[in-house]
Amino acid sequence: MGITSHDVARLAGVSQPTVSRALRDDPRVSQATREKVKRAAQALNYVPSEAGRTLSTRATRRVGVIVTDLTNPFYPHVIAPLHDELSSLGYRMMLITERSDEAVAEEKLLDQSMDGVVLATATTDSRLPAQLERRGMPYVFLNRDTGRAGDFASVVDNEGGGRLVARELVALGHRRIAGVFGAANTTTGREREMGFRLALAEAGVGLPEGRVVRGAFEYDTGYRALPALLEADEAPTAVFCGNDVVAIGVLNAALAAGVKVPDDLTVIGFDDLPMASWEVFRLTTVRHDLRELSRQAARLLVRRIAKDVDPAGERLVLPTEFVPRATHARAH
């Protein structure tokens, strides 16, 4: 059934190693032989077996990408450019969406079926990085990392982004401010909250725990958080959300509750997904270059696979920018 390099060799009247070399444009084979071999390969529709090559070279040209929930609108915008960049670097992408770290690590990541791994949904308490480290499997963090030194990571200046938002809200006169932050075991959640808090504190504005919600970076987190925040004695005049998806949950909840945005409530997101600029939202948010974030992660991983990397770790940080649209206003 399958056509092998031996079949090509027979047809071309050469040995199998010569076929291997000719098709890989090894300069040691003569022009004439090379062409003869290529014609034979063409005639037989020969495609080298990836398994044979992998076994021989010990490289799979395959990279795993780990994500928890693909249906979250955030991840496709990471995965698409990641795929394209990996592809142009000669790697293929294995998508792994998994709930539990442990199961993933044992079977799927350590069987030498990929050359490296991109962790797009790492939590600070995950044991996965340590397992990968122990087995010598190259990996990089994308968007989130562990926050520890020595990481290889492509991330955003989350703290700076949080600061930007705090300053804007203060400048708009907001004093009763709420936060719907990401989960506490994610660096994206923690750092955005941290930057936001620090800049608020500098301006002398408090952020009591009663006006803080933390949860997964999901639509439902925002959708359920708003009613809770509105029940407080003094409802907030502004909400900073952990990311755009959460903010969109808040916007929908506001519509359901009859709360006018931005007249009654200012809502700010983070990420600037394409969706944020849809007419129905016109979400004021914090932009960073999601494409470049992903590409950078791909290139970093490939460099790490090639061991062309600073052994002390590399942390590539992209800047953020405030994007005013239509969900913010002066405090009333």
Residues engaged in binding its own copies (CB under 8 A): 1-2, 45, 47-52, 54-55, 58, 60, 62, 65, 69-73, 75-77, 79-80, 83-84, 92-97, 106-108, 110-113, 135-136, 219, 248, 251-253, 255-256, 274, 278-281
| Segment interacting with DNA (CB under 7 A) among 12-20, 95-103, 275-283, 314-322 | 12-20
| Segment interacting with DNA (CB under 7 A) among 21-29, 133-141, 195-203, 237-245 | 21-29
| Segment interacting with DNA (CB under 7 A) among 1-9, 146-154, 165-173, 312-320 | 1-9
Nearest approach in angstroms of CB 138 to DNA is 17
**Buried b / exposed e along 201-223 (16+ C-beta atoms within 10 A):** eeeebebeeebbbbbbbbbebbb
Closest to DNA by CB, 55 or 257: 55
Closest to its own copies by CB, 8 or 199: 8
Q: Please report whether residue 23 would count as binding DNA according to CB under 7 A.
A: yes
Nearest approach in angstroms of CB 262 to its own copies is 15
Q: Please report whether residue 51 would count as binding DNA according to CB under 7 A.
A: yes
In the chain, the amino acid numbered 318 is L
Binding residue (CB under 7 A) for DNA from 53, 62, 224, 303: 53
97 binds, among its own copies, DNA, none (CB under 5 to 8 A by kind): its own copies
Closest to DNA by CB, 31 or 71: 31
Q: Please report whether residue 60 would count as binding DNA according to CB under 7 A.
A: no
Q: Please report whether residue 52 would count as binding DNA according to CB under 7 A.
A: yes
Q: Are 199 and 226 in contact (CB under 8 A)?
A: no
Nearest approach in angstroms of CB 63 to DNA is 19
Nearest approach in angstroms of CB 77 to DNA is 35
Q: How many residues at the interface with DNA, by CB under 7 A?
A: 30
Nearest approach in angstroms of CB 107 to DNA is 13
User: Which of 288, 284, 182 lies closest to 238 in space, CA to CA?
Assistant: 284
Q: Which residues bind DNA (CB under 7 A)?
A: 2, 4-6, 13-18, 20-21, 23-24, 27-30, 32-33, 46, 48-49, 51-53, 55-58
